[in-house]
Each structure stands twice: as structure tokens, then as C-alpha cells.
């Protein structure tokens, strides 16, 4: 049996939930975390805030200096957990074996559903499932997800980081060396499953 693993990663999850729930925040540089005038760190940053260099785990004061027009929002962990539950239910309907990794990412083992003539054909059979999953999350939850598909967890995780936000990347067995070759070595260190 050929292994087919998808890694689903929600795009700027906390910040995206805040932008969805409060339309006045859409298109603005949203920083979820402590305000820059208080001691604390950034939990999440919208893609608009990331353009200024704001990243998760960064001190809020630094984020405030980098992005002076950033809109700082206190985290609502109960809301994010609730939303994560809805997304997990959508994932479960794929009949995949699901391995949640955090509140906003999970591995889906689709091997039983996607078996083709060879490993690469098996990977390609899962592309429509991934597209449907992304579309359901968008239409039912108003959020976007990025998915990477490969023959193992490490490659699937790297693939999901490759084309964010709202991407879908397949790393074929035939092309995996060419896919990995130009990437910096730190990608392998930070993408452990």
C-alpha cells in the first residue's frame, strides 16, 4: 500500500477567526496577543501584519514598533478551540485517519482512500479530496487552509508551508529531491512531524 499523507494547516488561524468574526478587522494588520504597551507576546498575526515582520512568539512591544498601525486583539482561546472542533468534524468526514498536532493543524492519513498504480498516482488521487476539504472549510467556516500532500509526514508538513496562504502542494515521489534541494536546511529542522 502506498502512503498518502496530507498536512492541513489553518492560515493565520487566530487572526483569521478574529477577522471573520469582526468584519471591521478585515484587511487590517491584526495582532492577536497582549497590547504593545504591556508585557506579553504575539499569539498570531494576520498576513497583513506579517508584511511588517510581525510573527508569533514575538514580544508585543516589538510587534508594536514594527507595525504601529497594528490592531491588537486579546486572544479568545475558547473561541479558537470551538472553531478547531468544527474543522476537525469536517476533516473526519473525509474518512481519513486524523492526527491533530495543535489547535490549527493536523495530519490526515488518506492511504486507504487513495491507491493508484504507483505512489505518485496515489498522491494525485487525493488532490480532489484536499480541494473539497479546503472548499468546505471556506464555505462552512469562512476560513482558509493550506494543505500539503506527500508520502510521509515530514514532506507533507514542508509542502503545507510552501504555498501559504490558501495553497495546495503535492510533493511527488519522483520530484521530491528537486522539491527539497532549493529549500534552506532550517526547513527540515523546523518541520518535524
Q: How far is CA 183 from CA 47, 140, 168, in A?
A: 22, 34, 18
The residue annotated as part of the active site, out of 105, 117, 135, 163, is 105
Q: Is 105 a catalytic residue?
A: yes
Torsions phi, psi of 67, nearest 5?
-135, 75
Cα separation, 28 vs 151, in Å, equals 37
Torsions phi, psi of 90, nearest 5?
-65, -45
Q: Which residues are catalytic?
A: 105
Amino acid at each position: 500500500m502506498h502512503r498518502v499523507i496530507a498536512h492541513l494547516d489553518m492560515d493565520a488561524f487566530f487572526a483569521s477567526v478574529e477577522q471573520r468574526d469582526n468584519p471591521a478587522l478585515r484587511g487590517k494588520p491584526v495582532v492577536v496577543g497582549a497590547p504593545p504597551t504591556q508585557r506579553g507576546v504575539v499569539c498570531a498575526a494576520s498576513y497583513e501584519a506579517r508584511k511588517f515582520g510581525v510573527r508569533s512568539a514575538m514580544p508585543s512591544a516589538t510587534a508594536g514598533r514594527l507595525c504601529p498601525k497594528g490592531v491588537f486583539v486579546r486572544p479568545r482561546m475558547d473561541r479558537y478551540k470551538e472553531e478547531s472542533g468544527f474543522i476537525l468534524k469536517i476533516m473526519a468526514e473525509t474518512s481519513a485517519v486524523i492526527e491533530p498536532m495543535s489547535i490549527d493543524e493536523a495530519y490526515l492519513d488518506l492511504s486507504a482512500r487513495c491507491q493508484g498504480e504507483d505512489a505518485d498516482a496515489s498522491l494525485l488521487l487525493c488532490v480532489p479530496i484536499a480541494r473539497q476539504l479546503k472548499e468546505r472549510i471556506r464555505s462552512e467556516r469562512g476560513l482558509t487552509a493550506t494543505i500539503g500532500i506527500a508520502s510521509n509526514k515530514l514532506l507533507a508538513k514542508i509542502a503545507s508551508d510552501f504555498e501559504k496562504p490558501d495553497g495546495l502542494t503535492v510533493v511527488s515521489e519522483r520530484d521530491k529531491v528537486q522539491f527539497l534541494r532549493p529549500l534552506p536546511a532550517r526547513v527540515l529542522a523546523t518541520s518535524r512531524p
